[in-house]
């Protein structure tokens, strides 16, 4: 679902910059599938909430505890999150 949220965030950025009802497409070439993500006003609320969550994390004095997930091994941030596990 992270890819879906990422696209929704991009749509919010486009909308904030004057693009009316932006639309995005998620493509899964290996699965030969496409998913169109249409504009919805709730996307702006989602983006605002995510930004607040990020600000709250950034303002923490210490990094939050790592939540180990099965998807971590394929995540681009793996090296950052697991640096203390080496």
Binding interface with ligand SF4 (CB under 6 A): 67, 69, 71-72, 75, 77-78, 81
Nearest C-alpha neighbor of 11 from the set 40, 35, 52: 40
Which residue's entry shows tokens 């989602």? Answer: 46
| CB nearer ligand SF4, residue 20 or residue 77 | 77
Q: How far is the CB of 19 from ligand SF4 (least distance, A)?
A: 29
Q: Cα–Cα distance between 36 and 27 in angstroms, integer?
A: 9
Which residue's entry shows tokens 């909308």? Answer: 15
| CB nearer ligand SF4, residue 17 or residue 76 | 76
| CB nearer ligand SF4, residue 42 or residue 76 | 76
Q: How far is the CB of 73 from ligand SF4 (least distance, A)?
A: 8
Q: How far is the CB of 74 from ligand SF4 (least distance, A)?
A: 9
Residue ranges of alpha helices (H) inside the chain are: 2-16, 42-58, 78-81
């Amino acid at each position: 679902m992270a890819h879906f949220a990422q696209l929704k965030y991009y749509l919010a950025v486009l909308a904030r910059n004057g693009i009316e009802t932006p639309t995005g497409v998620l493509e899964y070439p290996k699965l030969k599938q496409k998913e169109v993500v249409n504009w919805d006003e709730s996307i702006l609320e989602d983006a605002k909430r995510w930004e607040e969550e990020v600000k709250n994390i950034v303002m923490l004095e210490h990094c939050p505890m790592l939540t180990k997930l099965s998807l971590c091994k394929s995540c681009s941030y793996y090296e950052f999150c697991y640096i203390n596990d080496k």
